[in-house]
Amino acid sequence: MQIITKNAYLVTLQRIIDDKDGILTIAESGKQIPFKIKRVYFITDTFYKSSERGHHAHKDLEQVIFCINGSFKLLLNDGNNEQEVILDKPDQGIFLGKELWHTMSDFSDNCIILVMSSDLFNENDYIRDFEEFKKYLKTIN
Convert the chain into a string of H (helix), E (strand) and C (coil).
CCCCCCCEEEEECEEEEECCCEEEEECCECCCECCCCCEEEEECCCCCCCCCEEEEEECCCCEEEEEEECCEEEEEECCCCEEEEEECCCCEEEEECCCCEEEEECCCCCCEEEEEECCCCCHHHEECCHHHHHHHHHHHC
Assigned domain for 1 exists: no
Assigned domain for 14 exists: yes
Domain span including residue 24: 8-140
Query: pTM to 2 decimals?
Result: 0.92
What's the structural domain count of the chain? 1
pLDDT digits (tens, 9 = 90+) for 2-42: 899 999 999 999 999 988 899 999 999 999 999 999 999 99
Assigned domain for 20 exists: yes
Q: Give the residue numbers marked as catalytic.
A: 56
Residue 43: which CATH number? 2.60.120.10
pLDDT digits (tens, 9 = 90+) for 94-136: 999 999 999 999 999 899 999 999 999 999 999 999 999 999 9
Assigned domain for 3 exists: no
